[in-house]
């Protein structure tokens, strides 16, 4: 294993906090990864990592070496990626809401992979917060206002939000004409992965946002589950219009209170600063802007 491969292995062990996970990411036997890091420490004459039964952490020397390594490797990857599309290669790990992946990303994915034949993509589906470095994820796509972090954030667009309900639900509970008519109504409670609290419904009234929390018989933490529940008539729900365009067209759902819309939702891609020079991340983010921007702007 040459010095650059040793650096790549070392940075992956640090980020994954595990020899086993790092070796699996790089397609190596764990024994080979352990031996390579031992040889690296012997060559440098310092201990880089502390091993415990639960995870791996860096020493002070190891943290300093890690910071130097990510800069050097980013420069190498950037240099090698500058000589044509065929040079963008390797495994890209992304995390995205499942519906967005299936509806918007997967139909366009063949064109991306044809453009970059050396690129492979792993897609994880989730709404939860992800520790990108710890879990070996290169970037995530998220909706909503994001908390402050040291991640780089690139806005992909704005999604128009609507309130929806099933015809059967509205037949039982009536059709509200204003937010003041919501007494006696129910909502599907969506639990935020950040606050662990049920998110209120939002309505724009006279230019101001009004938040209302209705009773919930069922709360969820997954957007696919909430979509199934609203179709089954469990209550009102708010989501991007793009999410329910087919249901609205087919009559499975009805838009409620269209004159009092929720605030629109920003859609963004986030990635660690250590990935900002990666050609894989750069071409993927540019592709997201290309395929998602027009759809979000048109919503």
**In the structure encoding, which two tokens stand for residue 40, read together?**
């690296």
Q: Decide if 3-80 and 161-263 have a common fold.
A: no
Rounded percentage of the chain residues whose pLDDT exceeds 90 = 46
Task: Pick 184 or 75 by higher pLDDT.
Answer: 184
The pLDDT, as a whole number, for residue 275 is: 62
Q: How far apart are CA 193 and CA 195, in angstroms?
A: 6
Give, to the nearest 10 degrees, the angle between helix 3-16 and helix 60-80.
120
**In the structure encoding, which two tokens stand for residue 185, read together?**
């109504």
Q: How far apart are CA 216 and CA 219, in angstroms?
A: 6
Across the range 199-216, mean pLDDT stands at 95
Query: What would the CATH number be for the domain defined by 3-80?
Result: 1.10.10.10
The pLDDT, as a whole number, for residue 223 is: 84
Per-residue exposure over 106-120, b if at least 16 CB sit within 10 Å of its own CB, e if not? eeeeeebeeebeebe
Output the CA torsion sign for 141, 132, 227, 246. positive
Q: How far apart are CA 267 and CA 193, in angstroms?
A: 16
Nearest to 213 by CA among 240, 232, 186, 191: 186
The pLDDT, as a whole number, for residue 237 is: 97
In this structure, the chain runs to a length of 299
pLDDT at 242 over 90: no
Mean pLDDT (the chain, rounded): 87
Domain ranges of the chain: 3-80, 85-157+267-298, 161-263
The pLDDT, as a whole number, for residue 131 is: 65
**In the structure encoding, which two tokens stand for residue 121, read together?**
């993509």
CA distances for 104 relative to 26, 257, 294, angstroms: 29, 27, 11
Give, to the nearest 10 degrees, the angle between helix 30-44 and helix 3-16.
110
Beta bridge partners of 265: 159
Task: Pick 96 or 233 by higher pLDDT.
Answer: 233
- Report the Cα–Cα distance between both ends of the chain, in Å, rounded: 51
Q: How far apart are CA 29 and CA 24, in angstroms?
A: 7
Q: How far apart are CA 165 and CA 242, in angstroms?
A: 15
Strands 49-51 and 161-165: unpaired
Q: Which CATH number fits domain 85-157+267-298: 3.40.718.10, 3.55.10.10, 3.40.50.620, 3.40.190.10?
A: 3.40.190.10
Across the range 147-156, mean pLDDT stands at 79
The pLDDT, as a whole number, for residue 145 is: 74
Read off the pLDDT of residues 59-96 as tens digits, 9 standing for 90 and up.
Answer: 999 989 988 887 788 777 666 655 554 467 777 889 88
Query: What would the CATH number be for the domain defined by 161-263?
Result: 3.40.190.10
Question: Could you give the residue ranges of the DSSP H alpha helices within 85-187?
Answer: 98-100, 109-115, 132-135, 167-173
Q: Which pLDDT band, with edges at 50, 70 and 90, does 128 fall under?
A: low
Which of 5-9, 118-122, 176-180, 201-205 comes out lowest in average pLDDT? Answer: 118-122
**In the structure encoding, which two tokens stand for residue 125, read together?**
């589906």
Nearest to 145 by CA among 199, 225, 205: 199
């Amino acid at each position: 294993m040459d010095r650059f491969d040793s650096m790549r292995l070392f940075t992956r062990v640090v980020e994954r906090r595990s020899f086993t996970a790092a070796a699996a990411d790089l397609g190596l036997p764990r024994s080979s990864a352990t031996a390579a890091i031992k040889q690296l420490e012997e060559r440098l004459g310092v201990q880089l990592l502390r091993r415990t039964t639960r995870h791996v952490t860096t020493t002070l020397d190891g943290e300093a070496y890690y910071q130097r390594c990510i800069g050097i490797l980013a420069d190498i990857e950037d240099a090698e990626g500058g000589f044509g599309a065929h040079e963008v290669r390797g495994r890209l790990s992304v995390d995205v809401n499942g519906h967005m992946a299936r509806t918007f990303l997967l139909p366009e994915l063949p064109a991306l992979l044809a453009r970059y034949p050396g690129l492979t993509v792993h897609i994880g589906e989730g709404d939860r917060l992800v520790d990108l470095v710890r879990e070996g994820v290169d970037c995530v796509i998220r909706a909503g206002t994001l908390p402050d972090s040291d991640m780089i954030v690139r806005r992909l667009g704005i999604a128009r939000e609507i309130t929806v309900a099933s015809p059967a639900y509205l037949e039982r509970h009536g059709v509200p004409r204003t937010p003041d008519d919501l007494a006696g109504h129910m909502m599907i409670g969506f639990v935020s992965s950040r606050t662990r609290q049920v998110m209120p419904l939002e309505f724009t009234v006279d230019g101001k946002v009004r938040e209302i929390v209705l009773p919930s018989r069922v709360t969820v933490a997954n957007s696919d589950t909430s979509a199934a529940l609203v179709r089954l008539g469990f209550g009102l729900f708010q989501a991007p219009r793009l999410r329910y365009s087919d249901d609205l067209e087919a009559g499975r759902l009805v838009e409620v209170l269209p004159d009092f819309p929720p605030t629109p939702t920003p859609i963004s891609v986030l990635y660690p600063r250590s990935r900002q020079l990666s050609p894989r991340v750069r071409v993927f983010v540019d592709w997201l802007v290309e395929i998602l921007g027009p759809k979000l702007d048109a919503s």
